[in-house]
Amino acid sequence: MSELNQLLLEFDHKIEFNEHDYYVSKSNFFAFNLIQNWPNWEKKILNISGDRFSGKTHLAKIFQGKSKALYLTKENINEDIFKIIKLKESIIIDDFELIENEKLLYSLFNLIYQDNKYLLILSNKSINEFNFKLEDLNSRAKNCIFAKIENPEDDLIFAIIFKNFSDRQIKLEKKIVEFIIKRIDRSYGKIYEFIYKVDQLSLKKKKPINFKTIKEIL
């Protein structure tokens, strides 16, 4: 992982994932609506996919608040965790693509089906596009609800930039934000990379951010 990517991850971890702070737009409406409609899902397993920084973790935290779900990542998924999973009604698996033990995943899917639990899977792409070595796991991965978070449109980019700068006490005029939206790469990773660079520059210069500063970064 590059130094910048590591800094971005640390930067992102400072964010508070409150439901009222989640901005709903066309790109994420379907995924958000499914979380809001829990437990009335058509199937027990929901897979939300999208690029890094697209808001998957924010949705998962909202879901966790509603369902009291057990939050799992690569670091804590092992055979011992099944004892705890048995006690929970809902489970969240983050960064699904990083988990390499297919037999363990297959056992987890079976437990979800067997005990009629809810499972929210977060991944960078839909898990029905994964090519697992275990054919039975491929079959399980297709039997889910799929919700993809698309690239952001103008109103979502505006909301992301405005909120992140407000949280960091960085004041920007509306016309500057509109200038940014017209020129920034329309991917979540690039947007947060831009926000991080502005934040660092603001801390360094200790001066208001103006058009000249923005042009330097863009």
Same domain for 137 and 173, yes or no, is no
Burial of 218 (0-12, 13-18, 19+ CB in 10 A): middle
Q: What is the pLDDT of residue 218?
A: 78
What backbone phi and psi angles, to 5 degrees, belong to 171? -95, 130
Does residue 9 fall inside a structural domain? no
**Would you say 165 and 198 are in contact if contact means Cβ atoms under 8 Å apart?**
yes
Q: Which of 104, 130, 148 is the last residue of a domain?
A: 148
On the 0-12 / 13-18 / 19+ scale of CB atoms within 10 A, 132 is middle
| Residue 116 counted as domain residue | yes
pLDDT at 8: 47
For residue 199, what pLDDT is reported? 84
Separation CA 47–CA 118 (nearest Å): 11
Residue 118 and residue 44 in contact, taking contact as beta carbons nearer than 8 Å: yes
Q: From first to last of the 218 residues of the chain, give the pLDDT tens digit.
A: 454 454 544 545 455 678 888 999 999 999 999 999 999 999 999 999 999 999 999 999 999 999 999 999 999 999 999 999 999 999 999 999 999 999 999 999 999 999 999 999 999 999 999 999 999 999 999 999 999 999 999 999 999 988 888 888 888 888 888 899 998 998 999 999 998 888 888 778 777 777 787 888 87
Tell me the two tokens of residue 159: 């909301």
**What is this structure's pTM?**
0.88
- Report which DSSP code applies to 129: G
Q: Are residues 42 and 132 in the same domain?
A: yes
pLDDT value of residue 13: 45
- Together in a domain, 158 and 143: no
Asked if 174 and 70 sit in the same domain, the reply is: no
Report the domain count for the chain. Answer: 2
Residues 111 and 32 in one domain: yes
